[in-house]
């Protein structure tokens, strides 16, 4: 498969009030077209920093990042980002929040009717067409995240980047949106890189799980393929031997071989 994302010998060093902080070291990663990759590790291991590098929100101190064989130097519409905070503009309706992104990407080359059709289609894709006229304060947290995902997908990105998009939601809402995300990715054939702290979420959603070592100078410790057929059913997977084995492998990495330093100190 064609690699849409390539990270080659990337390092990230931040200048802080306490001196230079080496966040990431020697990151090498290739993500294929249509692949779902989960980044997992303890707090402070640089998962979000790596995602921000791919998004173009940060420039690496050393190394290179490519998207579709072009160097990533800044944010671009081919890489849409969904954050843990939905980041919707509170004075705009759900429709207008999505339409704003559509207009920014396609406004110069498509008529207004087509822009509205794109916006409506994105809201329908995430099951939010019924709330198009509502403002963010009028809908639930899970619904806000759906609108955020719709906004990202409406831009027809080559890569969907997700930074713990369900982390602030209750367990039932989180599970429901995970299932919806599986359906959306199956329909859109999106390439996805997702940051998560949740082992079960990573195994349920991903084709590969990238496990990060602890910082500072965090790097990729292990990459685990998840050979589970799609579509995936969380109820059936609960007793699936492959699912259980993958889950155990990630837990062993996180809590035995690379336990968080605070946990060791305790």
Q: How far is CA 220 from CA 9, 28, 35, 41, 213, in A?
A: 11, 8, 18, 10, 6
Q: Which stretches of 166-236 are assigned E, i.e. beta strand?
A: 191-196, 208-212, 220-225
Domain 3-78+159-265 has CATH 3.40.50.300: yes
Q: pLDDT value at position 173? A: 82
**How much is the pLDDT for 265?**
40
Instruction: Return the domain boundaries, the chain.
Output: 3-78+159-265, 85-156
pTM, two decimal places: 0.89
Give the closest residue to 131 by CA, choosing from 119, 143, 142: 143
Please report the pLDDT score of residue 2 as a whole number. 65
User: What's the angle, vertex CA 125, arms to CA 122 and CA 127, rounded to 5?
Assistant: 110
Cβ neighbours for 93, distance < 8 A, ≥ 6 positions apart: 132, 133, 134, 135
31 touches 5 (CB < 8 A): yes
Reply yes or no: is the peptide bond before residue 231 cis, omega within 30 of 0. yes
Beta strands in the chain (DSSP E): 3-16, 19-32, 36-40, 62-67, 70-71, 79-82, 159-163, 191-196, 208-212, 220-225
Phi, psi dihedral angles at 240 (to 5 degrees): -75, 130
Q: What are the residues whose beta carbons fall under 8 Å from the beta carbon of 94, sequence distance 6 or more?
A: 88, 123, 128, 131, 132, 133, 134, 135, 136, 139, 147, 150
pLDDT value, residue 18? 85
Peptide bond just before 130 cis, omega within 30 deg: no
Query: Tens digit of pLDDT per residue, the chain (266 long)?
Result: 567 899 999 999 999 888 899 999 999 999 999 999 999 999 888 999 999 999 999 999 999 999 999 999 999 888 999 887 778 999 999 999 999 999 999 998 999 999 999 999 999 988 899 999 999 999 998 899 889 988 988 888 889 999 988 887 888 888 888 888 888 888 888 899 999 999 999 999 999 999 999 988 999 999 999 999 999 999 999 999 999 999 999 999 999 877 765 554 43
């Amino acid at each position: 498969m064609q690699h849409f994302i390539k990270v080659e010998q990337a390092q990230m060093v931040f200048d802080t009030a306490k001196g230079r902080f080496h966040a990431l070291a020697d990151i090498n990663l290739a993500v294929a077209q249509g692949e779902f990759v989960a980044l997992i590790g303890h707090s402070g291991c640089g998962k979000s920093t790596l995602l921000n590098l791919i998004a173009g929100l940060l420039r690496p101190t050393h190394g290179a990042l490519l998207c579709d064989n072009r160097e990533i130097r800044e944010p671009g519409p081919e890489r849409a980002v969904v954050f843990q905070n939905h980041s919707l503009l509170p004075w705009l309706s759900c429709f207008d929040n999505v339409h704003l992104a559509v207009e920014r990407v396609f406004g110069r080359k498509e008529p207004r009717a087509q822009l509205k059709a794109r916006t409506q289609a994105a809201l329908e894709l995430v099951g939010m067409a019924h709330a198009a006229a509502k403002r963010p304060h009028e809908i639930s947290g899970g619904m806000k995240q759906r609108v955020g995902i719709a906004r990202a997908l409406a831009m027809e990105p080559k890569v969907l980047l997700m930074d713990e998009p369900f982390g602030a939601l209750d367990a039932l809402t989180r599970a429901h949106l995970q299932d919806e995300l599986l359906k959306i990715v199956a329909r859109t054939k999106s390439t996805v890189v997702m940051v998560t702290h949740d082992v079960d979420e990573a195994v349920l959603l991903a084709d590969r799980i990238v496990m990060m070592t602890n910082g500072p100078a965090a790097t990729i410790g292990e990459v685990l393929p998840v050979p589970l057929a799609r579509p995936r059913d969380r109820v059936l997977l609960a007793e699936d031997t492959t699912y259980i084995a993958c889950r155990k492998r990630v837990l062993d990495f996180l809590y035995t071989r690379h336990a968080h330093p605070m946990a060791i100190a305790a």
